[in-house]
Amino acid sequence: MSTVLALGLVMVLGQGYAPPREGQAPLDTEREARVQRLGKQLRCAVCQGVAISDSPASMARAQLDKVRELVAENKSDQEILDYFVARYGEWVLLEPTTGGLNTVLWTAPVGLLAVGLLLIWLQSKKRGLPSELAPAPSAPDAAKAAPAAPAPQSPDEDPYLAQVRADLEK
Decide: pTM greater than 0.75.
no
On whether the CB atoms of residues 102 and 66 are closer than 8 A, the answer is no
Could you tell me the residue ranges of all domains in the chain?
26-92
Average pLDDT, the chain: 77
Could you tell me the pLDDT band of residue 2, with boundaries at 50, 70 and 90? low
C-alpha triplet 35, 18, 13: angle, nearest 5°: 140
CATH of 26-92, one of 2.60.40.1180, 1.10.8.640, 3.30.1340.10, 3.40.190.10: 1.10.8.640
pLDDT tens column, 58-80 = 888 999 999 999 999 999 999 99
pLDDT at position 15, please? 44
How far apart CA 144 and CA 139 sit, in angstroms, is 9
Could you tell me the pLDDT band of residue 151, with boundaries at 50, 70 and 90? low
Could you tell me the pLDDT band of residue 155, with boundaries at 50, 70 and 90? low
Mean pLDDT of 78-96: 88
